[in-house]
Amino acid sequence: MTKTFNVPNISCQHCVRSIKNEVGEVAGVTSVEADAASKMVTVTWADPANWDQIKSLLVEIDYPPQELIQL
């Protein structure tokens, strides 16, 4: 599954690295792409990961997502 969403709290490359590092450690996450300029993040995952788990982690690390597009 792949989901693209906006994260308004992204302001710099440090934010991008934090999101990639934290979300990338979730079991089942295969790809995390983030862009500071557009504030967009795309996460690809398979079991055992799920969107609720990824979303909860993003909220916990202070990068709550605004859901926009589901592919």
67/54 Cα distance (integer angstroms): 12
Strand, coil or helix: 70: strand
Contacts of 51 (CB under 8 A, 6+ apart): 1, 3
Share of the chain above pLDDT 70, in %: 93
Taking residue 44's Cβ as centre, other Cβ atoms within 10 Å add up to 16
**Domain locations in the chain as residue ranges:** 2-70
CATH T-level fold of 2-70 = Alpha-Beta Plaits (3.30.70)
Confidence band, pLDDT 50/70/90 cuts, at residue 40:
very high
Q: Which of 26, 31, 30 is nearest to 56 (CA)?
A: 26
pLDDT tens digit sequence for 13-34: 999 999 999 999 999 999 999 9
Amino acid at residue number 4:
T
